[in-house]
Amino acid sequence: MTDAIAYARPKYIGKSIQRLEDSRLLTGRGRYAADFQVPRMAHLAFVRSDQAYARICQIETHDAKELPGVIGIFTASDFAHIPEITAPSKMLNYHPTFCPVLARDFVRYVGEPVVAILAEDRYVGEDAAALIEIEYDPRDVAVTAREASSPNAPKLHDSLGSNTIFSRQFAAGDCVKAISDAVHVVSGQFCMTRKTSVSIEPRAYMAEFEPQKDTLTLHSATNIPGIVRDEIGRLLGLSGNKFRVVTCDVGGSFGGKGSLYPEEIIVCDLALRLERSIKYVADRMEDILSSSQAFEEEVAATLAVDENGHFTALKADILGDIGAYSIYPWTAALEPVQVASFLPGPYRIPHYTATVRGICTPKPPTGPYRGVGRPMAVFALERLVDKAAFTLGLSPTELRRRNLVGTEEFPHRIGSGIIWNRSGFHECLNAAEEAVDLPSIQAEKTSRKDKWVGVGFASYAELTGIGSRIAVAPGMPMNTGAETATIRIDATGAVSAVFAMSSHGQSLETTLAQIVAEELGVLPEDVNVIQGDTSLTPHGTGTYASRSAVIGGGVAVKATRGLLVKVKRVAATLFGVSPSDIQTGDGNIFVPNTNFAINFAEIARLVYSDMSTLPQEARETLEFQATYDPIVGTTTSATHAAVVEIDPETLLIKLRRHFVAEDCGRLINPLVVNGQVHGGVAQGIGAALLEELKFDDAGQPITATLADYLVPTSAEVPDLEVAHIETELPDSPGGFRGMGEGGTIGAPAAIANAVTDALSQLGIEVNSLPITPSKLHALIAAATKQDRQE
């Protein structure tokens, strides 16, 4: 045995390998939905409502129809055969809304599509749009949730009893008694204003009609291709053999491309009716006005604390402004109910009560946006924690330490019913406290007069990779908890791995390849990850809710292990050894310390093409399909620390440092995890300091361009510091937890606490985000006035 072959088993999971999708994306060879062009393709443009709430009296389309190059003008009556979009829910006290694909009789937000124009090119389509006249009879509006929730407010949907389209209560223990018994009680009224995703690629759809087979392919900028396929199929009466949804490259979503939209239904319907391919690409104003918006909640909350600084009770009243319609499939309950579900956070709080209401307003529908509910929940709770620390004279980190669920206390059920499993709650807090040199900041606070300096912390926990026991959106009757994958070795020895997920920046082509490569014993670049095509998988929903690493990674492990059993069985027959003697690595299949070795191409040839080497019964197809459902999910946790400095002259708020300590379990690719955290934090910075969709009293949007709706640029984001804490791994295959949203969850609260700390000498608290120089000016002016009056 002198020539014994030894192969080191390479480890790919945990390596910062360079991304496999990058070469096409870096060279302009990616394919996004707007890039698709086919012969005779027609272009869709829309006339959208310029009224917040009005009856449609008349639509005059004559001049537009006459314009050369216009193929057709369509209004609601042309789509009477398509059922209205409605999101069902199992929740009690939930009243569904019904949204026709084009506004019928009434418009309910500025930006709602009213007329669809099909033209030979988009320029002509927009010429035609300018010739269409719509006569409206405006109705009274109640633009804010507070106004719209009053009994006398004008009703947005005549079919509903009021503008309150759902309400729900949470109760655990006896909150009233616990609060009245408490030594310390802190309260606050917190507000997160309306945001929008702003993926740099606006929404885009191309419905490709294929006359050869009378089939339709929707190339969609969506992150939920399976859900879109299933629902458009239902609405238009198409099954999967006639209709598929393909995503190819998608230019970001952050939730904004994670719902079903009228425009994608219309391109499909018209493509089938006219037997030609149709494209629609939103411009930025359309994208801002008609893609799902986010947050916009008010939370009135009270935290009770005993004499030892232990939290005893939490009470909250949550008012969610959900916009004009309940979005499919998540429903309007998604965001506000998640606030209530996650409000108790990573702490022991024995008594909890919360009421949640969702209010219809004449504004664009809200939907998922990175973090969903938790940025608001964490902002409200972490502000209360800091207020309590101030009241008790404890440091914010010490109070957190006293109340975070302890390492020995997992699993821990919080007042809303969510169960936390072991995650690095204390480890993350300790790391963040250590990273921020508190004494030096304290010294700077007292010595510096030219800047107001402050530090803030925020700890949170989230449920990632949610399995089938819990609906991702509360009450949503749809299983989003399982994923199916097929891993196969073809006759050339190439490995392909087919998933129903849909990467839109998450690097799944790389991270899933790393997992398959590691488990099978090949190189990551030899694994072709195929995803985002509904025709290749029986079922799947997409990539959202920090699920793809946990559920996708989990099913990759399961399916690859199933395939490896087959590979070992074949090799064992070939070598005349036991399957347990076989090892794989580096593209080879071998028995250690022997000369028995073969590579994947050779074994594939023996199995598929060679008729004599292996007995017929040993030539099994090298393919394995598996399904994974984590049932509940995994607990990801983190502590963020922010350091800000404020210029007393200009009131410019500068984020000087942002540090994140997080426990997302086993890292698949540290570079990718860092990227996810960084991107999430940047959006959290936007939510904290810049981003706000504003509407005037008539419901007119006044921030409909990127010059008005400000997202962070490289000048506003500091170097981002991330520490990965790996505690006990979750029991999911691979030990992965989700990390797609955490950055956005923790950052706003940490920054709000830091700004409040910087303003402590003025006694000003940041309870509404974003906090901007002009809002700060107003707060200071109000505080000064109050001082004078006192």
Partner 1 sequence: MSSKTHITLTINDEPYRADVEPRMLAADFLRDELALTGTHIGCEHGVCGACTILLNGVSVRSCLLLAIQLDDAEVQTVEGLGSTREMHRIQTAFREYHALQCGFCTPGFLMTVQDILNTLPLRNDKEIRDALSGNICRCTGYDHIVKAVRSLVTERDKIANQ
* Residue numbers at the binding site for partner 1 (CB under 8 A): 16, 18-19, 21-32, 34-35, 37, 121-123, 127, 197-202, 249-252, 254, 281, 283-284, 504-507, 671-672, 674-675, 677-683, 705-707, 711-715, 717, 719-720, 743
Q: Which CB sits closer to partner 1, 24 or 413?
A: 24
Strands 483-489 and 623-628: antiparallel
CB of 543 to partner 1, least distance (A): 12
Q: Which residue has the tokens 């149709």?
A: 278
Can you tell me the distance from the alpha carbon of 752 to that of 765, in angstroms, rounded to the nearest whole number? 8
Both tokens of 116, joined, read 């669809």
Can you tell me the distance from the alpha carbon of 742 to that of 296, in angstroms, rounded to the nearest whole number? 19
Q: Which residues, including other chains, have CB under 8 Å from residue 234's CB and lie 6 or more apart?
A: none
Sign of CA dihedral 725, 730, 736, 741: negative
Q: Which H or E element spans position 24?
A: helix 22-26
CB of 201 to partner 1, least distance (A): 4
Q: Which CB sits closer to partner 1, 197 or 326?
A: 197
Can you tell me the distance from the alpha carbon of 581 to that of 591, in angstroms, rounded to the nearest whole number? 6
Q: How distant is the alpha carbon of residue 773 from its chain centre?
A: 29
Q: Which residues, including other chains, have CB under 8 Å from residue 80's CB and lie 6 or more apart?
A: none
Q: Which CB sits closer to partner 1, 24 or 777?
A: 24
Q: Which CB sits closer to partner 1, 238 or 754?
A: 754
Can you tell me the distance from the alpha carbon of 681 to that of 704, in angstroms, rounded to the nearest whole number? 24
What are the helix (H) ranges across 659-707? 670-689
Phi-psi region of 14 (alpha: psi -120 to 50; beta: other; left: phi over 0): left
CB of 455 to partner 1, least distance (A): 20
Q: Which CB sits closer to partner 1, 456 or 505?
A: 505
Q: Which amino acid, 741?
A: E
Q: Which CB sits closer to partner 1, 125 or 475?
A: 125
CB of 68 to partner 1, least distance (A): 8
CB of 41 to partner 1, least distance (A): 10
CB of 542 to partner 1, least distance (A): 15
Q: Which amino acid, 153?
A: A
CB of 714 to partner 1, least distance (A): 4
What are the helix (H) ranges across 404-542? 425-435, 438-447, 508-520
CB of 219 to partner 1, least distance (A): 13
Q: Which CB sits closer to partner 1, 706 or 780?
A: 706
Q: How distant is the alpha carbon of residue 603 from its chain centre?
A: 42
Q: Which CB sits closer to partner 1, 456 or 679?
A: 679
- Alpha carbon dihedral 56, 60, 61, 62, in 10-degree steps, equals 160
CB of 108 to partner 1, least distance (A): 26
Terminal-residue alpha carbon distance, the chain: 93
CB of 196 to partner 1, least distance (A): 11
- Alpha carbon dihedral 65, 71, 76, 77, in 10-degree steps, equals 80
Q: Which of 732, 727, 735, 751 is nearest to 660 (CA)?
A: 751
CB of 783 to partner 1, least distance (A): 33
Q: Which amino acid, 23?
A: S
Both tokens of 634, joined, read 């995994």
Burial degree of 198 (CB within 10 A; 0-12, 13-18, 19+): buried
**564-587 core/surface letters (b: 16 or more CB in 10 A; e: else):** bebbbebbbbbbeeeeebbbbbeb
Q: Which CB sits closer to partner 1, 35 or 581?
A: 35
Q: How distant is the alpha carbon of residue 362 from its chain centre?
A: 24
Can you tell me the distance from the alpha carbon of 213 to that of 238, in angstroms, rounded to the nearest whole number? 14
Which whole-number Å values give the CA distances from 461 to 1, 61, 171, 296, 689, in the listed order? 55, 54, 20, 21, 23
Q: Which CB sits closer to partner 1, 459 or 506?
A: 506
Q: Which of 405, 387, 300, 388 is nearest to 349 (CA)?
A: 405
Q: Which CB sits closer to partner 1, 19 or 401?
A: 19
CB of 513 to partner 1, least distance (A): 15
Q: Which CB sits closer to partner 1, 88 or 670?
A: 670
CB of 353 to partner 1, least distance (A): 37
Q: Which CB sits closer to partner 1, 8 or 707?
A: 707
CB of 718 to partner 1, least distance (A): 9
Q: Which CB sits closer to partner 1, 52 or 221?
A: 221
Burial degree of 434 (CB within 10 A; 0-12, 13-18, 19+): middle
CB of 510 to partner 1, least distance (A): 10
Contact 326, 86 (CB under 8 A): yes
CB of 715 to partner 1, least distance (A): 4
Q: Which CB sits closer to partner 1, 695 or 709?
A: 709
Q: Which CB sits closer to partner 1, 633 or 743?
A: 743
Can you tell me the distance from the alpha carbon of 665 to that of 732, in angstroms, rounded to the nearest whole number? 10
Can you tell me the distance from the alpha carbon of 751 to that of 375, in angstroms, rounded to the nearest whole number? 12
Can you tell me the distance from the alpha carbon of 9 to that of 173, in angstroms, rounded to the nearest whole number? 53
Beta bridge partners, 488, equal 496, 623
Contact 259, 245 (CB under 8 A): no
CB of 287 to partner 1, least distance (A): 9
Q: Which CB sits closer to partner 1, 196 or 584?
A: 196
